[in-house]
Structure 1
Amino acid sequence: MDHYEVIESSLIYIENNLDQSLTLESVANTFNMSKYYFHRLFSAMMGCSLNNYILSRRLNASLPFIQTDHLPLTDIAYMLNFGTQSSFNRAFKRQYGIAPSSLRVKNLNILQSPVPSVVKRPIKNINGDIVTDFTLTELKSIRLSGIAFEVDLATDDYKTKIRSHSNKTSC
């Protein structure tokens, strides 16, 4: 099994076992890899640690339970293997900007995010050497507009120059 397949399989394994105790060691052992090597590979491809990824996927899995079921939040926290309801509440608010109880009361709808797909792309280390040929990337579309110009902070009156550019009409 190559690196691409290991990470793709690990994502599926994690998604199917969110209710279990998932540790770096247990996931690495599932794929017969050293936990240190698996951690470096996973972090390089995902751009986050395994623990952060598992936490975000558990929070993602909690959304339908909060929005549709009438299970107590404590049961949801324990069902998805959070230690306590307060740790679940803190993590949920950190990720989504709203407490799970507020989400339920206000009847808001947050969409679940799908499992990220594996995209081939070279990853280089600090020396510029390619260390792996794969990474996971999820890009969200954004609209960005603006202007760019140079200002010499020592001699130019940069505030006047910025204001004059901001007053111009755009297309």
Structure 2
Amino acid sequence: MTSVPAGCIPAPLEWAAAQLETLDPVIAYMEATAEDSWNLDTVRSKDGSKNCFFGHLFNMAPDDDHANALWGMFEDLWSTTYRIYPINDGTNPSYPQETPKQRILAYLRALQAGDELTTEQSMEACYQLHLDAEAAKQAAGGQTVPAVATQNA
């Protein structure tokens, strides 16, 4: 965890929002991590010496409250564990770099450049796929399922 003098730390959500206004602080922090401090298939090693991306992100914060706010806000604003873990662990073919650190940095830079979708953009794209599928089904004469079932009285 980052060392900050007591009494100088803003509230967790305020601090996290400042850290995540852009990806620059996250990228800089990840660049400064040692290659051999990266972990696969788990957030943090038992001895705490290795982390996946989210373990390193957690360590950016001065304490657990700020770390939890940072993790949650990163997922809300930028990218989720669902998207990050396969990149970190080397199972996403779009990021074939040799190490987890290199893969994550490539992804973060692509995300920052707008070449990857943010969490909100991904959710909107997924919803649009659903709408398009429903429209195609209707156009083909299929029946749609109502979003909310109603009972006849």
- TM-score bracket, shorter-length normalisation: 0.3 to 0.5
**Larger Rg computed on CA atoms:** 1
Structure with the higher fraction of residues in strand conformation: 1
Q: Which has the higher contact order (CA 8 A, sep 6+)?
A: 2
Structure with the higher fraction of residues in helix conformation: 2
